[in-house]
Amino acid sequence: MTTEVRFTVRQNESLVLEAIKVNHNWYLILKRLLDITICILILPFILVLMAVIAIAVRIDSPGSPIFVQERIGKDGRRFRMYKFRTMRHDYDPQLDRAFMQAFVVGQNVINDQNHNGAYFKPTKNEHVTRLGRVLRKTSLDETPQIINILKGEMSLIGPRPNLPWEVEKYQDWHYERLTVLPGITGLAQVRGRSCITFDHIVRFDIEYIHNLSIKSDLQILWKTVATVLNGSGAG
């Protein structure tokens, strides 16, 4: 191969990489605009809904209606994620630590809700409040994360954020899911929600990352609404 040909090939490769970078930057801008636009449009309704849920949580069980927990976001940055409390106020999330670490490393984990190992939620029924079961079934416990989205810590669509001690158990290939903003919902949630292994979740997350597009985001958003309304995979 002559020097001129090599130079031309390298120049073409550089142009392709630059085009990919520009397209990715435009995607990130459009995705952020989509997040903000949707959040602003639904904000009046969401605020009323959140107020009603917060009052209902307080009536249903003692304690703060909002549950705040540290999670790992894009590029390993830590942030405080908000949810409605679905468990008893005296429940210690550390009790789930061994279960979830075993789940991440691929050990067969079983809980009291389903003894065939096909349902991966650690919390036992007696720890979840009456209202909490409804909130989990409908995913309404996630609505306070609109605050995380507006703060730029999360997106509507992306891999679900893990706890620091879950990330400690990551295999090397798992870390690719931390290259994008975490989301309220993602490809793994519409494909399987609570009924798949962690490795399958990560594979879906990586598939999403390798095929980033606004069209894909809108499709996942639409499928999430359908999945929640059907109540499939929730709990």
For 184-198, write each residue's pLDDT tens digit.
999 998 887 667 889
pLDDT for 198-216, tens place per residue? 999 999 999 999 999 999 9
Per-residue burial over 50-67, b = 16 or more CB atoms within 10 Å of its CB, e = otherwise: beebbeebeebbebebeb
How does pLDDT run across 20-48, given as a tens digit for each residue? Answer: 555 788 899 999 999 999 999 999 999 99
DSSP code at position 124:
-
pLDDT digits (tens, 9 = 90+) for 112-167: 444 444 445 555 567 889 999 999 888 899 999 999 999 999 999 999 999 999 99
**Does residue 92 surpass a pLDDT of 90?**
no
Q: What is the pLDDT of residue 123?
A: 53
pLDDT at 6 over 70: no
Nearest to 220 by CA among 158, 154, 161: 158
Measured from the Cβ of residue 89, the count of other Cβ atoms closer than 10 Å reads 13
Identify the pLDDT of residue 108.
61
Q: Could you give the CA distance from residue 103 to residue 97 in angstroms, rounded to a whole number? A: 10
Contact 104, 85 (CB under 8 A): no
Task: Give the pLDDT of residue 9.
Answer: 45
Average pLDDT over residues 69-92: 91
User: Does the pLDDT at position 91 exceed 80?
Assistant: no
